[in-house]
Amino acid sequence: MPIFLDSGKLNEIEKYLKMGIIRGVTTNPTILLKDGVTGGIAGIKNRSIEIAKMISPYPLSVEVTKTDKAAMITQAKDIAQWSENINIKITIHGPEGELENLEAIHELETKHDVRINATAMMSAQQCFLAAMAGATYVSIFGGRVNNMGYNSCGEIAKLRNVLDQFDLKSQIIVGSTREVLNVIEWLEAGAHIVTVMPDLLNAMLVHPYSKETVKMFLNDAKKVEEPPHL
């Protein structure tokens, strides 16, 4: 499942599904607002159900908006019922470093059978703890790690090694993708999945030398098809 699309736009998602190159979709409130979703939670619910139906059986990540543990659990259980292929995004901790999020992740996975995408992580150690808590997916923001002056490939490789060493089943999602190069280098480093914005996916696919070569082929084909001049 190597590529998930970061998008809340139905036409974009449908476009890449038809190509057969995405295996899931991730959203968050920022993405959905940018992509024109209005109407608060009701609007998010309607769009999420549409996306989940479109991409089924591939997974869709939807993020909770609550910060209190009890409220997070209640909201996560509700969102998970919107569609069977929805998993719930919960950040590794609260805005001031509150630690209840990991309790909520553990409880939802082990007691309520809700699949969790633990997100907003910047290090292998954070992801390792989320995996220990039982998260189905552990999301590290590779682009932001690079921006902090560290090589995200090293963090990904370390994380994959410890997950394999301790037989933890969490899958590594690497997000915050900034460059086309990131996708392959992160997968090579050990990521199970990389999330990609549509513009980067286009850049992966369309190469200027490929365009030049296609034009040459077509021009030469016209010469072959043209009748000889007498």
Told to judge if 222 belongs to the known catalytic residues of this protein, a careful annotator would answer: no
Closest C-alpha among 188, 163, 187 to residue 173: 187
Contact predicate 159/190, CB 8 Å: yes
Contact predicate 138/118, CB 8 Å: yes
Residue 9: its pLDDT value, please?
A: 95
**Beta-carbon neighbour count of residue 19 at 10 Å?**
9
Sequence-distant (6+) residues with CB within 8 A of 114 are: 76, 77, 80, 87, 88, 108
Average pLDDT per consecutive 10 residues, the chain (230 residues; last block may be shorter): 93 97 93 88 94 98 96 98 98 96 98 98 98 98 96 97 98 96 97 97 93 91 74
Q: Domains of the chain, with CATH numbers?
A: 3-225 (3.20.20.70)
- Give the pTM: 0.93
Catalytic residue among 34, 66, 89, 158: 89
Residue 28: its pLDDT value, please?
A: 86
Contact predicate 76/49, CB 8 Å: no
Residue 230: its pLDDT value, please?
A: 57
